[in-house]
Amino acid sequence: MAINTDAEDWGGIGGSSDSGERAWLLQSPSVDSARHPEAEEGSRGVSALGAVFIVVNAALGAGLLNFPAAFSMAGGVMAGVMLQMFMLIFIISGLVILGYCSQASNEATYQEVVRATCGKVTGVLCEMAIAIYTFGTCIAFFIVIGDQLDRLIAAVAHETDGSPEGHWYTDRKFTIVVTAVLVILPLSIPKEISFQKYASALSVMGTWYVTIVVIVKYIWPDKDMNPDHAPATSASWTAVFNAMPTICFGFQCHVSCVPVFNSMKRKAIKPWGFVVTCSMIICLFVYIGTGVCGFLTFGSNVNQDVLMSYPPDDIAVALARAFIVICVVTSYPILHFCGRAVVEGLWLRFQGEQVEVCVRRERRRRILQTLVWFVVTLVLALFIPDIGRVISLIGGLAACFIFVFPGLCLMQAKLSETDIRTTSWHLLVVLGVTMVTLGAFIFGLTTSNSIYQDVVN
């Protein structure tokens, strides 16, 4: 069943949105796979500029808050910037590869491209990885809500330390639960999420505003803030790998970008390469601006959530916190929607039920899946101390979407060709092997390190 039935959501920059783009992305493979006639009429597609907006929209999010801490863990500004520049080469390559494989396989979603190119087993692993990734991201969103509401309440109560106390209704766990039950749960239950397209555009502007605030606060610091212009140095060269989960989490838009490629007016590799290059450069400047200025402002004392390092009574920062809360509140239902669609697809595929039975039971399954997902993510968020713990764990999984699966698709696509194997063919196979190896290394290293740190602490 086509999840996003509003074809006009793809009509241009104004109509393109995070909700529409991500909803199209992870559609359930069963029940009724026929697209609506009006979707065919929308084949005029999205312009290159509109596609750039959608890709930037998909990449920027709450992960932005963790970049200053990532620079601190990497050992300073130079190490953090060089690592981002190095990884950007493979990030852009992965996006181009996905466009190429989508065109070759004639599939319109990330998991279906992987399934068609690499086989059923790899496709199932990809779907499971998407479900786990979206689940972890939803936990991180609840943690961000708790962090920002703490400071916003403290600003209203004129608390100087940023941690309001004395009233049960200002307790962090209570505010997270109330926001989740009254706002996020009602937005997560509906079958369609196209109504969130305007809020999603607002959330993107909010992330840009956060970057501007961090930069301005570094250039013109408040009286009670003393910028640390001397960057820290890493204890060893391996410390730079500590920043990889955050970078992967921040730039991971690959799962969302396959349908963007298929929605373009000119569905070809050359314009797609231009789109993803421009998009990733925009994201690079946003992340570097936030990471560098946030790190230089607070040095090694920067919080995992950079906004938590600022005083609670700063009006500009308080507005940034409000924007982040809006961003997270609108993004949670979208990510949950994507994860629920994958879970639904896996369930229907393995159950092998008749279409009529699937349609009749859809509402009951959807409500049950939503409630279980919501309750588990909420409970875990209440007992996980900071966003850095979650990002360090799921950031390694994001490396699989950026490196491993695109690399496997490229290798399979080239190995299946029967033409004469030229030098370019061999170079592309080597690129695929390199991406798979690098992605597996990042995933194994960051995930094991995250688990080790959790056990130690």
Find the angle CA(306)-CA(311)-CA(313) to the nearest 5 degrees.
130
If phi > 0 it is left, if psi is from -120 to 50 it is alpha, else beta; for residue 17 that is beta
| pLDDT score at 34 | 39
The residue behind tokens 């349609």 is 359
In our burial notation (b when 16+ CB lie closer than 10 A, e otherwise), range 341-359 reads: bbbbbbebbeeebeeeebe
Residue of 226 and 62 predicted with greater confidence: 62
Structure-token pair, residue 332: 């949670």
The confidence score (pLDDT) of residue 8 equals: 38
Query: Is the CB of residue 384 less than 8 Å from the CB of residue 139?
Result: yes
Residue 156 has a pLDDT of 78
pLDDT value of residue 228: 54
With 90 as the cut, is the pLDDT of residue 11 above it?
no
Task: Please check the confidence at residue 32 and state whether its pLDDT lies above 60.
Answer: no
Does the pLDDT of residue 429 top 60, yes or no? yes
The pLDDT assigned to 439 comes to 92
Does residue 411 surpass a pLDDT of 60? yes
Tell the residue number behind the tokens 């140095």, with chain if given.
233
Which of 5 and 224 is assigned the larger pLDDT? Answer: 224
pLDDT at 237: 61
- Please answer whether residues 373 and 135 qualify as being in contact, where contact means their C-beta atoms are separated by less than 8 angstroms: yes
Q: Identify the DSSP state of 35.
A: P
Average pLDDT of every residue of the chain: 80
Average pLDDT over residues 286-313: 88
What b/e sequence results for 52-65 when a residue is b if at least 16 CB atoms lie within 10 Å of its CB, and e otherwise? Answer: bbbbbbbbbbbbbb
CA angle 239-435-90, nearest 5°? Answer: 75
Q: Is 60 helix (H, G, I), strand (E, B) or coil?
A: coil
Count of alpha carbons within 13 angstroms of residue 427, beta-carbon side:
3
pLDDT number for residue 2: 36
Q: What is the pLDDT of residue 187?
A: 85
Query: Which uninterrupted H or E stretch holds 414?
Result: helix 405-415
Contacts of 267 (CB under 8 A, 6+ apart): 45, 103, 261
Confidence band, pLDDT 50/70/90 cuts, at residue 163: low
- Residue 416 in this model has a pLDDT that exceeds 80: yes
Q: Which two tokens stand for residue 456?
A: 């130690």
* In the predicted structure, residue 241 carries a pLDDT above the cut 90: no
| Distance between CA atoms of residues 293 and 298, nearest Å | 9
Average pLDDT over residues 140-147: 89
- What string of H, E and C letters represents the secondary structure of 140-176? HHHHHHHHHHHHHHHHHCCCCCCCCCCCHHHCHHHHH
Cα 121 to the center of its chain, rounded Å? 24
Q: Is 104 helix (H, G, I), strand (E, B) or coil?
A: helix
Most confident range (mean pLDDT) of 2-11, 31-40, 323-332, 448-457 is 323-332
**What's the confidence (pLDDT) of residue 1?**
31
What is the pLDDT at residue 362?
Answer: 76
pLDDT > 70 fraction of the chain, expressed in percent and rounded = 79
Cβ atoms < 10 Å from Cβ of 375: 12
Distance CA 316, CA 313 (A): 9
- Distance, in Å, from the CA atom of 266 to the CA atom of 169, rounded to the nearest integer, reads 54
Highest mean pLDDT, choosing among 9-13, 194-198, 291-295, 357-361:
291-295
Which pLDDT score, from 0 to 100, does residue 14 have?
Answer: 39
pTM for the structure as a whole: 0.80
Per-residue pLDDT tens over the stretch 246-273: 899 989 889 888 888 988 888 889 999 9
Residues 6+ apart with CB under 8 A from 192: 3, 4, 5, 23
Q: What is the pLDDT of residues 324-356, one digit of tens each?
A: 888 888 888 878 888 888 888 888 777 765 555
Residue 233 in this model has a pLDDT that exceeds 60:
no
Q: Which of 91, 123, 125, 122 is nearest to 109 (CA)?
A: 123
Angle at 233 between CA 230 and CA 239, to 5 degrees: 145
Residue of 55, 4, 18, 109 lying closest to 332 (CA atoms)? 18
**pLDDT of 358:** 61
- How far apart (Å, rounded) are the C-alpha atoms in residues 188 and 233? 44
Domains of the chain: 7-456 (1.20.1740)
Answer with the residue of higher pLDDT: 367 or 359.
367
Residue 389 backbone dihedrals phi, psi, to 5 degrees: -60, -45
pLDDT band per the 50, 70, 90 thresholds, residue 165: low
94, pLDDT greater than 80: yes
Distances (CA, A) of 150 to 124, 139, 188, 290, 313: 40, 17, 24, 22, 12
Q: Which of 157, 369, 116, 120 is nearest to 258 (CA)?
A: 116
Q: Are 286 and 100 in contact (CB under 8 A)?
A: no
- Rg of the chain over CA atoms, in angstroms? 22
Which residues are CB-contacts of 168 (< 8 A; sequence separation ≥ 6)? Answer: 174
Region 98-118: mean pLDDT is 91
Out of 200-214, 262-276, 318-332, 430-444, pick the least confident: 200-214
Confidence at residue 281, expressed as pLDDT on a 0 to 100 scale? 93
pLDDT at site 244: 87
Taking residues 123-141, report their average pLDDT: 91
Residue in this structure with the two tokens 């606060």, named with its chain if needed: 217
- Whether the pLDDT of residue 7 is over 60: the answer is no
Q: What is the mean pLDDT of residues 279-298?
A: 91
Residue type, 330: T
pLDDT at 390: 84
Residue 407 scores a pLDDT above 90:
yes
Beta bridge partners of 46: 264
